């Protein structure tokens, strides 16, 4: 994790709600559950009540928790509902469970319809405030987070809250250098676009939100996925789909090409480029053209994807031309697209101590992906995280690296099988994890690799967002003493989920009921402990901005408790932790001298202080003073991000990438936004570099003093 300047961090906090509300309704029609949703809810209730690891009856107590989760998922910051809105549904609070069993979803849909109405009212009111504008001489502030506040007592209180919210949006743009007329234009368009997107909500959206309120009321990692969400999850595990190879986004109601996948049909055709707007889609040579102007992005994607080797025709408004510009028709043959940007990647980092240069192989793994279907069918080239990493280890050995660092930061998990196989690449054969079912039976899952793919020094870099399969791997490496764990304490998710396809349960040939990701077991380390709640504690700790009460397993009120079982029988390896005293001393000495590392610690301290303060001034003089202080701090630091990596001279694009411009992503020029995004990715990864330094130190220690490693039997 690399913290940005706090002004930018809090700018995100104050704008995120407007960006996330693109799925409610302006002039709302009443949404009603469809028959398949009623049946899906009934099947889910039966399955979860009987087969969940934490199976509990769908009684009044659980109904109350479902109600609370549902309201929180709709309005987490308490900016739409007022207390009277909550009170009018309180009589149904404990009946949601019995209603679901009786195939009655009227209450959750009534709540959702009111939410839609209130959201439309709030954004319409926000637009009305733009006519009179604001003054910024008053001494008042805007609360950044309201999730722990009580509900507003009246509409008057809510209007005052939204007045401050819009005032803050206005002030951000003013501080970024925009005049009043352009500010009105930007904000009016922003709120209008939200209202337009409200009209695209459907019953499937409402139903999925409600069902996830139900599933997470049981346990945090049980989820419901509608047919589209289930298909997207499958794509994320396979890292492949069939389509044209274009990443799409919505800009001003246009389905816009944000990126072309190298080697995909769209890129190879030479007929499409970034910024082109797709306004129509037709199937085959003679299919009718469907107008997708103003459509939801997922609807557009559904039309563009299809079966392999089939033809799709696109009506395109080229980038740079006005709305009345000449359209063109582009015909493409759909092909399988590999999502290479989400797969494992490797690189080599060189660290020199003035005498010796150590080469550290870095493997970055975003998730534990696996093409389940491909493996079952016996496909030779099916996608797999462990297979990709094994190939990279061969390549890195050929490059004569001294150590391997596996970067699992922000890796939320994935396939349990892949976590076990990945562990086997470094330990060979042996137990990796213990899995306890709801019956109490414990199974020992073992790695079966005949040979070790890498037997040299090893490090695993984790952060608070490293969860589940990442924790299984890191814990096993730590328990075996096979490598060093570096970074932050991990998430603390010690549960195992399986996918239940409700269409198969109902014997439906059509995908209409969705899937449930259901918790069925809890995993334990081979030492008998569990990562549940406590996560994996690093051997070398890096600074963290996360509060365990706000992020991670320990932040959930209904998480499973920590527990312990008997340890498995296993033999530890050469324990690099015997080097820890020397490594920690060098680490501490280095970070005390590393200005970039100190900047991170300073930012974390300031960030935590501002979170406690939880408010931002709406006084222009005070805000300009704060902004100037941040700019001065950035100038003093002379951060690498403010320089062109090739010339070393100040780069305006890189500088702007880290300055708050008051805009949301879809409001910026696409070319500029992509350039800024690329610039942010080029930031110096201070934590990764320090992890590499620690492993270089370990390699040096091993080479100079092999007997210092503690042999653990």
Whole-prediction pTM: 0.90
- Name 255's bridge partners: 250, 278
Structure tokens at 493: 């998710």
pLDDT at position 678, please?
Answer: 81
Are 277 and 320 spatial neighbours (Cβ–Cβ below 8 Å)?
A: no
pLDDT at position 180, please?
Answer: 96
Cα atoms in the 13 Å half-sphere on the side-chain side of 280: 15
Q: Where are the domains of the chain?
A: 6-218, 240-338, 341-572
Q: Is 678 assigned a catalytic role?
A: no
Render pLDDT for 24-69 as a digit per residue (tens, 0 to 9).
Answer: 334 457 999 999 999 999 999 999 999 999 999 999 999 999 999 9
Helix (H, G, I), strand (E, B) or coil at 665: helix
pLDDT at position 641, please?
Answer: 45
CATH superfamily of 240-338: PDZ domain (2.30.42.10)
Residue written as token pair 């033809």: 311
Q: Which of 468, 470, 490, 554 is catalytic?
A: 468
Gap between the Cα atoms of 484 and 406, Å rounded: 10
Q: Give per-residue burial for 2-26: e unless 16+ CB within 10 Å, then b.
A: ebbbbbebbbeebbeebeebbbbbb
Distance separating the N- and C-terminal Cα atoms of the chain: 36
- Residue 359: count other Cβ atoms within 10 Å of its Cβ: 17
Cα-based torsion angle of the residue sequence 186, 190, 192, 196 in order, rounded to the nearest 10 degrees: 140
Gap between the Cα atoms of 170 and 165, Å rounded: 9
Render pLDDT for 620-676 as a digit per residue (tens, 0 to 9).
Answer: 999 999 999 988 888 887 654 445 444 445 455 445 555 788 888 888 888 888 887
Q: Is 232 assigned a catalytic role?
A: no
Q: Which of 479, 539, 575, 660 is catalytic?
A: 479
Helix (H, G, I), strand (E, B) or coil at 241: strand
CATH topology of domain 341-572: 2-enoyl-CoA Hydratase; Chain A, domain 1 (3.90.226)
Max intra-chain CA distance, the chain: 76
pLDDT at position 21, please?
Answer: 34
Cα-based torsion angle of the residue sequence 340, 343, 344, 345 in order, rounded to the nearest 10 degrees: 20
pLDDT at position 574, please?
Answer: 67
Gap between the Cα atoms of 474 and 460, Å rounded: 7
Alpha helices in 428-515 (DSSP H): 469-479, 502-505
Stretches in the chain below the pLDDT threshold 70: 1-28, 574-575, 638-658, 705-713
692 exposed, middle or buried (CB, 10 Å; 0-12, 13-18, 19+)?
buried
pLDDT at position 17, please?
Answer: 38
User: For residue 301, how far is the Cα from the chain centroid?
Assistant: 20
Q: Which of 4, 493, 603, 697 is catalytic?
A: 493
Are 414 and 370 spatial neighbours (Cβ–Cβ below 8 Å)?
A: yes
Q: Is 479 assigned a catalytic role?
A: yes
Helix (H, G, I), strand (E, B) or coil at 522: strand
Render pLDDT for 16-25 as a digit per residue (tens, 0 to 9).
Answer: 333 333 333 3
DSSP assignment of 443-458, as one string? EEEEEE-SS-S--S-E
């Amino acid at each position: 994790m690399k913290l940005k300047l706090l002004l930018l961090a809090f700018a995100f906090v104050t704008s995120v709600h407007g960006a996330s509300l693109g799925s409610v309704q302006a002039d709302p029609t009443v949404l009603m559950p469809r028959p398949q949703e009623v049946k899906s809810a009934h099947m889910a209730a039966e399955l979860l009540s009987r087969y969940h690891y934490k199976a509990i009856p769908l009684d009044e107590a659980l109904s109350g928790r479902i109600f609370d989760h549902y309201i929180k998922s709709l309005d987490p910051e308490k900016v739409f509902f007022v207390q009277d809105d909550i009170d009018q549904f309180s009589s149904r609070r404990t009946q949601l469970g019995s209603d679901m069993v009786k195939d009655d979803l009227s209450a959750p849909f009534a709540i959702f319809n009111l939410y839609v109405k209130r959201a439309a009212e709030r954004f319409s009111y926000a637009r009305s405030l733009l006519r009179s504008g604001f003054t910024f001489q008053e001494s008042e502030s805007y609360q950044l987070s309201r999730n722990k506040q009580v509900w507003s007592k009246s509409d008057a209180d809510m209007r005052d809250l939204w007045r401050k919210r819009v005032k803050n949006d206005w002030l951000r743009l003013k501080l970024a250098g925009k005049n009043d007329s352009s500010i009105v234009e930007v904000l009016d368009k922003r709120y209008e676009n939200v209202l337009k997107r409200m009209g695209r909500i459907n019953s499937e959206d409402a139903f999925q939100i409600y069902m996830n309120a139900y599933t997470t009321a049981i346990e945090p990692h049980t989820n419901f996925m509608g047919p589209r969400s289930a298909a997207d999850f499958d794509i994320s595990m396979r890292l492949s789909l069939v389509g044209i190879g274009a990443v799409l986004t919505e800009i001003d109601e246009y389905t816009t090409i944000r990126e072309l996948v190298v080697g995909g049909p769209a890129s190879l055709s030479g007929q499409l480029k970034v910024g082109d707007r797709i306004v129509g889609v037709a199937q085959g040579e003679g299919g009718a053209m469907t107008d997708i102007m103003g459509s939801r992005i997922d609807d557009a994607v559904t039309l563009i994807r299809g079966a392999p080797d089939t033809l799709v025709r696109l009506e395109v408004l080229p980038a740079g031309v006005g709305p009345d510009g000449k359209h063109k028709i582009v015909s493409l043959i759909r092909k399988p697209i590999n999502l290479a940007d989400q797969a494992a990647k490797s690189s080599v980092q060189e660290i020199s101590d003035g005498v010796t240069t150590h080469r550290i192989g870095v493997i970055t793994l975003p998730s534990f992906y696996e093409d389940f279907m491909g493996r079952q069918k016996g496909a030779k080239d099916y996608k797999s995280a462990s297979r990709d990493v094994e190939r990279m280890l061969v390549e890195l050995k050929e490059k004569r690296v001294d150590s391997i660092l596996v970067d699992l930061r922000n890796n939320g998990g994935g396939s349990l099988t892949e976590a076990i196989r990945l562990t086997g690449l470094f330990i060979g054969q042996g137990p990796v994890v213990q899995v306890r079912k709801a019956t109490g039976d414990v199974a020992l899952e073992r790695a079966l690799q005949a040979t070790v793919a890498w037997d040299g020094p090893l490090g695993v870099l984790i952060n608070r967002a490293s969860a589940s399969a990442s924790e299984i791997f890191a814990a096993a490496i730590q328990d075996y003493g096979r490598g060093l764990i570096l970074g932050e304490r991990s998430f603390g998710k010690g549960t195992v989920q399986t996918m239940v396809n409700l269409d198969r349960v109902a014997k439906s040939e059509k995908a209409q009921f969705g899937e449930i990701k259901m918790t069925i077991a809890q995993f334990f380390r081979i030492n008998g402990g569990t990562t549940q709640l406590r996560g994996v504690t690093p051997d070398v700790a890096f600074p963290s901005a996360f509060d365990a009460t706000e992020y991670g397993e320990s932040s959930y009120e209904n998480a499973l408790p920590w527990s312990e079982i008997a340890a498995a029988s296993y033999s530890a390896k050469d324990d690099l932790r015997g080097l820890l005293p020397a490594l920690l001393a060098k680490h501490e000495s280095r970070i005390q001298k590393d200005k970039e590392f100190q900047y991170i610690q300073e930012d974390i301290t300031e960030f935590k202080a501002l979170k406690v303060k939880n408010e931002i001034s709406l006084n222009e003089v005070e805000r300009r003073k704060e902004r100037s202080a941040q700019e001065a701090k950035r100038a003093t630091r002379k951060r690498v991000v403010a320089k062109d990596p090739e010339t070393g001279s100040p780069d305006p694009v890189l500088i702007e990438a880290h300055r708050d411009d008051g805009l949301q992503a879809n409001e910026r020029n696409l070319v500029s936004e992509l350039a800024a995004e690329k610039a942010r990715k080029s930031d110096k990864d201070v934590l990764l570099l320090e992890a590499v330094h620690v492993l270089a130190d370990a390699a040096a220690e091993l080479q100079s003093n092999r007997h210092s490693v503690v042999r653990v039997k």
